Amino acid sequence: MNDTARMRPARTGTRRRRKGACAVLGMLVVSSWGGLFQARPGAQARDPRQIVEEAQKRTDAASQRYEGLLQVFDARGRIADKRWTFERLGSYGRSKAVLRFTSPAEVKGVALLIVNHPDRASDQWMWTPAVERDRRIALQDRSTRFFGTDFSFEDLEARDVGQYDYRMLGDDEVGAAACWKIESTPRESKSSQYTRSIVWIRKDTYAVARVESYVGGEAVRRLDYSDFVQAQGIWTARRLEMADLRRGSRTRLTLDQLEYNAPMSDDAFTLQAIRRPVR
């Protein structure tokens, strides 16, 4: 499948899909919030949990992979480029993921294994080839930056709807997009550096436009989603930008070679697998 087939420009309409699509980061994250919510245009406002539950259901997928360019902008405007690959098997609170840097040379081969759980924080291990050592990331270290980016270790784990309580804050706009503004608060069983997060969900496509995370009353990180495309029928933000509001720095993640529901093996999501050299 070529890149054009994998990533088509977003169309005006959407259609109801079978269960089987997922989100970035997680972001990271990608997916963290998944970042890629979809529903019928013009859907009426409902209970905030129902909005997030339906969004998650409509973006479930068996697997996901992409290549990403990370550009880290410091407070002086200097830019450092990095590249990584991301692969995930499963979805949301029942998934495994591997992030692996491919350049520049000084970070090549550094990898993070993430095992997500529906009822608690993820388990994470990082492999550093320069010292030929892997280490488990302790809960108290999840708030630290991941290898010079503005994403913390926690930002890279998947969030399941059931780990949070929700409150509707009203209507708002991000750019020209009308959004629902929803507050999420981690439940006691969810260990988090953040006291709460606010997510802006677009009313036309249910795509997440922004996530702002707080410690106490202070906003400490803001994640913006943009450049939406339709990849294999899934609305996907091809650009994510995480701002560290305390440091004054930001990291832009641009996705390419994106693919959903590709065959993957459990064997690729182990400590042994992340120790393998990058070619």
User: Is 70 exceeded by the pLDDT of residue 92?
Assistant: yes
- The model's pTM is 0.82
What is the pLDDT, as a whole number, of residue 277? 86
Lowest-confidence range among 13-22, 72-81, 83-92, 152-161?
13-22
In this structure, is residue 11 part of a structural domain? no
**Structural domain containing residue 179:** 17-274
Domain containing residue 132: CATH number:
2.50.20.10
pLDDT bin (cut points 50, 70, 90) of residue 70 is very high
Count structural domains, the chain: 1
Q: What is the pLDDT of residues 170-192, one digit of tens each?
A: 999 998 998 899 999 998 767 89
pLDDT bin (cut points 50, 70, 90) of residue 263 is very high
pLDDT bin (cut points 50, 70, 90) of residue 119 is confident
Mean pLDDT, the chain, integer? 83
What is the pLDDT, as a whole number, of residue 39? 36
Could you give the CA distance from residue 269 to residue 72 in angstroms, rounded to a whole number?
27
Whole-number percent of the chain with pLDDT over 70: 83
In this structure, is residue 182 part of a structural domain? yes
Whole-number percent of the chain with pLDDT over 90: 58
pLDDT bin (cut points 50, 70, 90) of residue 232 is confident
What is the pLDDT, as a whole number, of residue 101? 96
In this structure, is residue 66 part of a structural domain? yes
In this structure, is residue 5 part of a structural domain? no
User: Is 90 exceeded by the pLDDT of residue 234?
Assistant: no
What is the pLDDT, as a whole number, of residue 167? 97
In this structure, is residue 9 part of a structural domain? no
In this structure, is residue 84 part of a structural domain? yes
CB 26 within 8 A of CB 35: yes
In this structure, is residue 190 part of a structural domain? yes
> Who has greater pLDDT, 104 or 232?
104
Count the Cβ atoms, other than its own, within 10 Å of residue 266. Answer: 10
Cα–Cα distance list, 14 to 60, 72, 174, 193, 196 (Å)? 16, 34, 20, 36, 31
What is the pLDDT, as a whole number, of residue 34? 39
